[in-house]
Amino acid sequence: MSSTAEARFRIQAPNSRPRAIKVIGLDTLGGDAVRRLSGEGWRHATFFTSGRPGELRRLDGTTVAVDDEIQAADLVVMVASAEGRAHVAAEIGRVCSDRRVNTTTLIVGAIDAPEAALARTLAQVRPWSLMLVLAADEHYITDMMTALRA
């Protein structure tokens, strides 16, 4: 800023509202990755695996309604493997879309996956993901969560 006139447009208070990130494992391998990731001491992220329709499973085994968790979220990160079993992304994605919550999907092990299985996974998650990442391994998830200040 070079003038008093420009200074009046500056936001004077820091953004004090922390993020609320929900990280959801969509399939077996995605759930395993989420469990490992949850042990890294994140302050603004909550971790789940997919449950029965309309439910998410906390890592302690209790269940919560998808709607309730998404309502409290700023960002939903879905984690899936390239096995073609990420169909639950549609349910989560619809709720996120209705609530205007941003979504990111990370597909782990995508580099070494058979092309047909990866194509099935992509078809299941792409309509519901504002950002889609094909990750070679789980380290990318940790890097992304760090960048988000989770």
- Taking the CA atoms of the chain, what radius of gyration do you get in angstroms? 17
Q: Which CATH architecture has domain 18-147?
A: 3-Layer(aba) Sandwich (3.40)
Determine the residue type at 42.
Answer: W
* Phi, psi dihedral angles at 21 (to 5 degrees): -105, 130
Q: How far apart are CA 25 and CA 71, in angstroms?
A: 18
For the stretch 60-76, pLDDT in tens is 999 999 999 999 899 99
Q: At what angle do helices 28-38 and 139-147 cross, to 10 degrees?
A: 50
Beta-carbon contacts of 52 under 8 Å, excluding residues fewer than 6 positions away, are 63
pLDDT of residue 11: 63
Instruction: DSSP letter for 128, please.
Output: G
Cα separation of 39 and 37, whole Å? 5
In this prediction, residue 57 has a pLDDT band, given cuts at 50, 70 and 90, of very high
Q: Where are the domains of the chain?
A: 18-147
Which tens digits make up the pLDDT trace of 16-55?
566 799 999 999 999 999 999 998 889 999 999 998 999 9
